[in-house]
Amino acid sequence: MSIKPIAICAFLLIASTTTCTVMAQDQPAEHDADELAKKLSNPVASLISAPLQYNYDDGYANGGYKNTVNVQPVVPISLNADWNLISRTILPVAYQNDVRPGTDQAGLGDTVQSFFFSPAKPTSSGLIWGLGPAALVPTGTDQLGAHTWAAGVTGVMLKQAGPWTYGALFNHLMDVGGSGRQDISSTFLQPFLTWGGLGQGQTIGMNTESTYDWVHHQWTIPINVFYSKVSKWGPSWGNQLVSYQAGVRGYAESPRGGPDWGVRLGLTFLFPK
């Protein structure tokens, strides 16, 4: 049996087992769960979280596929009564087969580190925003990275009205090392929309995590649809608050030979103040 079905089955088994375990334990109060779910929909909320996000992408030319686990800690820091600094890190751990025809790679991808300076309270119109620097750190191994540094700017704007959260996150990165395997000039756009009207910490939503490569003039546009739920792992786990997520995506645009579709499973550990 190939690694491909083994990986899919293993992650689906873990996800289903986790879901059953979580549902069997005590649930947090509905109000608390809904409030936490709302904060999770806000990229610059004052909430420490540690997401583990599994992505499977298929449909590459020559039957290629890719497995990626993103480790994505989010740490807000209160600078004073008026301003917060939010650190968001994305470290990918990947295995891919025939993405580059006839080869496979396993290891770390490049790390994207972002810092958002954000007002502690929304504006009078309810706008929540953050702006700051972003960097690509060349942590990639086994041809999974660009082997160069990149730097740029990142920002987010959103509103939350009742159960709705809508907005967009962006960054733009350009290589600064000058000695990597490839030039980098890349814009990332993530418009998002979530609805928490189901109650009990449940959220449904959609986003696009679109990237435009200015070097090769190429869009990559995955459209994600997902469901998530805040819950609690009971006494044996120390009443740890978590959010679990499942979703699917299709690619409206991808590079020649790129993926057609994918799935996502996520588990986020929450550490509210």
Question: Residues 243, 36: contact at Cβ < 8 Å?
Answer: yes
* CA atoms in the 13 A half-sphere facing the CB of 21: 16
The predicted pLDDT at position 273 comes to 77
The predicted pLDDT at position 6 comes to 44
| pLDDT tens figures, 155-212 | 999 999 999 999 999 999 999 866 556 789 999 999 999 999 999 999 999 999 999 9
CA neighbor of 28 nearest in space, from 247, 237, 266: 237
CA neighbor of 155 nearest in space, from 183, 115, 195: 115
| pLDDT tens figures, 113-127 | 999 999 999 999 999
Question: Residues 38, 243: contact at Cβ < 8 Å?
Answer: no
Question: Residues 210, 224: contact at Cβ < 8 Å?
Answer: no
DSSP 12: H
Average pLDDT over every residue of 61-88: 96
Q: Indicate the average pLDDT of the chain.
A: 88
Average pLDDT over every residue of 219-238: 86
The predicted pLDDT at position 238 comes to 62
Q: Report residue 20's pLDDT band, with 50, 70 and 90 as the boundaries.
A: very low
Q: Looking at the predicted structure, is the pLDDT value of residue 15 above 50?
A: no
Share of the chain above pLDDT 90, in %: 78
3-257 sits in which CATH class? mainly beta
Q: Report residue 1's pLDDT band, with 50, 70 and 90 as the boundaries.
A: very low
